[in-house]
Every structure is written in structure tokens, then in C-alpha cells.
Structure 1
Amino acid sequence: MAAVLFDFSGTLFRIESTESWLRAVLADAELSLPDAEFHLTAQALDRVGALPGGTHPVERIPDELAHVWEIRDKSAELHRAAYTGVARQVPLPDPALYDLLYDRHMTPTAWLPYPDAIDVLRTLRERGIRVGVVSNIGWDLRPVFREHGLDPYVDTYVLSYEHGIQKPDARLFATACAALDVDPRDTLMVGDDRRADGGAAALGCSVHFVDHLPVAERPDGLRAVLDLVG
């Protein structure tokens, strides 16, 4: 393999828990909820899929949001509209909290790298294998990589909202391969979403999947990549 492409959320990084997310925003806004109400609110936000990078919606997406939800990763505006829209199904003590919650998830402190992420990226760099990040996302994730020390090992970022294309569209993977100057047939795509990340196979890339688990539950899920690239 000449290059490895990685997904972001659920692959190299994992977002904080819904409880941590909600608690941080309430604290910053100098608001609070009784314990029982706090836990019920966090569970409700989970069910509607309000936390980007968190759990997928369990409840049906409202009809008025369905189209935006499907194409949410094609622009920053669509991404914000989709996630604040589903969040508004859950009552909160201040209407401003919906946008504040969205803003919180874009901060580096809301994300943690998987324990083996930096070692795997560093080893790939030492082996001369180029690295790209290909993400369905509506905001610039580069500060997250810089804050956590992974940016020096990434050669290119291809973000859906910057191109108006979202995975599994093979054009997004083709853009990454072109930026790295590698043949897709010599490229491995690593991700947690079989539909979205599996789209790289249409281009000729090999594909490897990891489990979208909390950071503490997946200490070495990326190390198999080192064996796959040889």
C-alpha cells in the first residue's frame, strides 16, 4: 500500500458522551437541570441523534428535516440545520442552547483520539506511507488534529462540506488519492461506516472497518492497519 485514508469520527477520534456534552454547555451558560431531568434530557438528545459523531437517531427524523438530514454533510449550513433541527425536538431551558450545543461539538476538547491513533499514524509516516483523512462533516476538523498532536502525520484532509460531496460518493475518495498522488488500487480506506466508507471500494481501494466504540472500549482497534499495509 502507498497510502491509507482514514475516516474521522468513530475511526481516529470519538466525540464525548452526550452527558458530558450537555453538562459542559449548561455550565458555560450558567444553567442547570435537576439530576433526574438532566439524565432524561441527555437520553432524549441521544434518541434523536442530536450529537454529531454520537449515536444514530433511534427515533424517526421529522418529515420537514428528512431531506436536509440526508445531505447534511454537503455544507456547513446544512450540517448545522440538520443537527440543531433534530435537537429542537427535545425541550431545553433556553432556546440559545441548541446552537451552543452544536458549537461545543466543534471544539477540540469535545473529542478524544483513540488510544492507538497517534502511534499508528506515526508508524505509517515512518514507513513512508502517505495518510489522508476523508470525512463526512460540516466543519473544519483540522484544529482537533492539531490540538491532539495528530496533524503532523496527516498529508491531506478531504472534507465533504468543502467539496459539496459526501461519502459514499467515490469522487471524494478520488480527490484524496489525487491529493496524495497515489493510485486508488494502492490505497487502503479505514472507517467505521460500511455504507459511507465502503464507497471507496468502487474506486478500487481496499477497505477495512473498525468498530465505532467509546475510546475506553477500543484501545487497539487501529493496529490491524499496520499489518494490512505491510
Structure 2
Amino acid sequence: MAAVLFDFSGTLFRIESTASWLRAVLDEAGLPLAEAESTRIARELEHVGALPGGVAPRVPMPDELAAVWDVRDESAELHRAAYTGLSRLVALPDPALHDALYDRHMLPSAWQPYPDAAEVLRALRARGTKVGVVSNIGWDLRPVFRAHGLDPYVDAYVLSYEHGVQKPDPRLFKTACTALGAEPRDVLMVGDDRRADGGAAALGCAVHFVDHLPAAQRPDALRPVLDLVD
């Protein structure tokens, strides 16, 4: 393989828990809640899928929100509208918290690399294998990689909102292959979403899937990538 493409959320990084996400925003706003109330709200936010990178929504969406949801990763505005729209399905102590929650999830401190991410990226760099990050996302994730020391191992970032195209559209993977100077047949795509990341196969890329689990529960799922490259 001449290059490896990685998804971001659920593949190289994991978002914090919904409870931690909510607690951080409440603390920043100076709005302490009783533990039982905070737990209830966090459970409701998780149920509606309001945390980007967290679990998918488990409730039917209003038609107008569903229309935005389907194309949410094509622009920063749509991404914010989709996720703040979901959070607004839950009553919060202050309406301003909906935007504060969205802003929180973009901070590097809200993300944790999987335990083997740095090791695998370093090994690929040592092998001379190009690395790209291909993500369906509505904001610039580069600061997350920089803050966690992984940016030096990434040769190209191809983010859906910057191109107006989202996975599984093969055009996004083609853009990444071109950026890395690699033919699709010589590229491996690694992701956790069989539909979105599996779109690379239509272009001729090999595809390898990992499970979207909390970081502590997935210590070494990325290491087989090195064997696949070799």
C-alpha cells in the first residue's frame, strides 16, 4: 500500500462521554446541577444523538431536522444546525447551553486518541507510507491532531465540509488519493462506518473496519493496519 486513509471519529479519536461533555459546559457556565438532574439530562442528550461523534439518534426527527441531518457534513452551518437542533429536543437550564455544547465538542480536550493511534501512525511514517484523514465533519479537526501530537504523521486532511461532499461519495476519497499522489488500488481506507467509509471500495481502495468503542475498550484495533500495509 502506498497510502492509508483514516476516518477521524471512532477510528483514530474518540469523543468524551455525554456526561463529561455536559458537565464541562455546565461548569464553564457556572450552572451546577444536582447529580441526578445532570445524569438525567445527559441521558436524554445521548438518546437524541446530540453529541457529535457519539451515538446515533434513537428518536424520530422532525421532518425539517431530518432533511438537514442527511447533508449535515456538507458545510459548517449545516453541521451546527443539525446537532444544535437535536440538543434543542432536550430542555436545558439555559438556552445558550445548546450552542455551548456544540462549541465544546470541537475542543481538543473533548477528544482522546485511541491507545494505539500514535504507534500506528509513527510506524506508517517510518515505512514511508502516506497518511490521509478523510472525515465527514463540519469543523476543522486539525487543532485536535496538533494538540495530541499526531499532526506530524498526517500528510493530508480531506474534510467533507471543506469540499461540500460527504462519504460515501467516492469523490471525497478520490480527492484524498490525489492529495497523496496515490492510485486508489494502492490505498487502504480505515474506518468504523461500514456505509460511509465503505464508499472507498467503489473507487478501488481496500477497506478495513474497526469498531466504534470507548478508547479504553479498544486498545489495539489499529495495529492490524500495519500488517495489511506490509
In structure 2, the residue matched to 1:93 is 93
Distance apart, 1:36 and its partner CA: 1.2
What amino acid is the match of 1:176? A
What is the 5 A alignment of 1:199-214?
199-214=199-214
Q: Which residue of 1 aligns with 2:174?
A: 174
The equivalent of 1:13 in structure 2 is 13
Q: Deviations over 1:50-72 (max 9, x none)?
A: 00000011111221201100000
Q: Matched residues in 1 for 2:136 and 2:148: separation?
A: 20
User: Match of 1:135, as an amino acid?
Assistant: S
2:58 matched to which residue of 1? 58
SS of 2:190 mapped into structure 1? strand
Further displaced range: 30-39 or 139-148? 30-39
Q: Percent identity?
A: 76
What are the Cα deviations for residues 147-178 of structure 1, in whole angstroms up to 9, with x where unaligned?
00000000000000000000000000000000
**C-alpha RMSD of matched pairs (Å):** 0.4
* Structure 2 counterpart SS, 1:50: coil
Pairs within 5 Å for 1:1-230: 1-230=1-230
AA matched with 1:18:
T
Matched AA of 2:102: Y
Offset, 1:81: 0.2
Q: Which moved more, 1:30-39 or 1:8-17?
A: 30-39
Residues in 2 aligned to 1:112 and 1:36: alpha-carbon distance in whole angstroms: 26
3-state DSSP of counterpart to 2:118: helix
Provide the rounded CA distance (Å) in 1 between the counterparts of 2:128 and 2:221.
22
TM-superposed CA distance for 1:139, in Å, is: 0.1
Letter in 2 for 1:209: F
1:91-133 deviation line (CA, Å, top 9, x unaligned): 0000000000000000000000000000000000000000000
Amino acid corresponding to residue 167 of structure 1 in structure 2: K
Q: Quote the offset at 1:224 in angstroms.
A: 0.5
Cα separation, 2, equivalents of 1:213 and 1:86: 22
SS at match of 2:82: helix
Moved over 2 A (4+): none
SS in 2 for 1:32: coil
Q: 1:32: how far off? A: 1.7
Deviation at 1:33, TM superposition (A): 1.6
Matches of 1:95 and 1:66 in 2, distance apart? 21
SS at match of 1:158: strand
Q: 1:37: Cα distance to partner? A: 1.2
Distance 1:26 1:205 in 2: 44
The letter for the 1-side match of 2:214 is: P
Q: Distance in 2 between matches of 1:169 and 1:87?
A: 28
Distance 1:61 1:70 in 2: 11
Instruction: Report SS of the residue matched to 1:145.
Output: helix
- TM-score of the two chains, using structure 2 as the length reference: 0.99
Distance 1:43 1:33 in 2: 14
**Structure 2 counterpart SS, 1:8:** coil
